[in-house]
Amino acid sequence: MADTTLTWLGHATFRIDTAAGKRIYVDPFLNGNPTCPAGEQEPERADIVAVTHGHADHVGDTVAIAQKHGSTVVAQVELAGWLGNQGVPGDKLIGFNKGGTIDVDGVKFTLTNAFHSSSAPDGSYGGEAAGFVIELEDGKKLYFAGDTCVFGDMQLIGRIYSPDLAIIPIGDFYTMGPREAAVALELLGVQRCVPCHWGTFPVLTGTPQALQELASGVKVEQLEPGDAVTV
């Protein structure tokens, strides 16, 4: 069986290509994302799209991708309702809530807490911001923190789900910066992370190098947009 790869497409956008052949997008902010590689802005296929919260730089191209590729879209229940009103087919939409786990063709998605605001791109209510634990077909688990500050219950996420890899924001200003992210990694108890939500815009000043200096016991993957790591 092939390896699972995680590709960073800039900002908080990721593509997961699972060992079993699934292609999953998380927060697919492709068009309009100044750091997304040009060759990645039009997905050739997408089995599942997972959206952490309603802000435009996370919803991104979700509707267009779902309509073009027949992707299953998973999101917090109020956000899912909004996406349905925008044209995501109801039979391809799963709206659930924090603490809940769903199985989409062998890939399990659990919604976790996050501390952040969430409104849809048109300003309407988008539910609450969330994170995801994604358990792949081979049992590997990825924790996508979503946009958040550090919070003490990250320790519970580590205890309950034992993620193999944490994907956390480090840009500061809108989310936690490196100082807070280093504490988040300590609470989660992970040995490896991929930082995101940095470098997209000038206000996002946190860097992977700064995080690595503060989190000496964790391998911080220092990716550029378009780079991939093996899970």
**pLDDT score of 103:** 98
- The helix or strand, by DSSP H or E, that contains position 2, with its residue range, turns out to be none
Query: Using CB atoms within 10 A of its CB, is residue 139 exposed (0-12), middle (13-18) or buried (19+)?
Result: exposed
- DSSP one-letter string for 45-96: --SEEE---SSHHHHTTHHHHHHHH--EEEEEHHHHHHHHHTT--GGGEEEE
Cα 66 to Cα 47, 55, 133, 228, distances in angstroms: 9, 18, 21, 23
> If you write DSSP's letter for every residue of 97-163 in order, what string do you get?
-TT-EEEETTEEEEEEE--S--B-TTSSB----EEEEEE-TTS-EEEE--S----TTHHHHHHHH--
List the chain residues with pLDDT less than 50: none
Cα 8 vs. chain centroid, distance in angstroms?
10
**What are the strands, taking DSSP E only, across 155-205?**
165-169, 192-196
Q: Is-contact 106 76, C-beta < 8 A? A: no
Please tell me the distance from the alpha carbon of residue 72 to that of residue 171, in angstroms, as a whole number. Answer: 29
d(C-alpha 105, C-alpha 72), whole Å: 10
pLDDT on residue 1: 61
| Architecture field, domain 5-221 | 4-Layer Sandwich (3.60)
**Domain locations in the chain?**
5-221
Predicted local confidence at residue 158, as pLDDT: 98
**Residue carrying the six token digits 């590729």:** 69
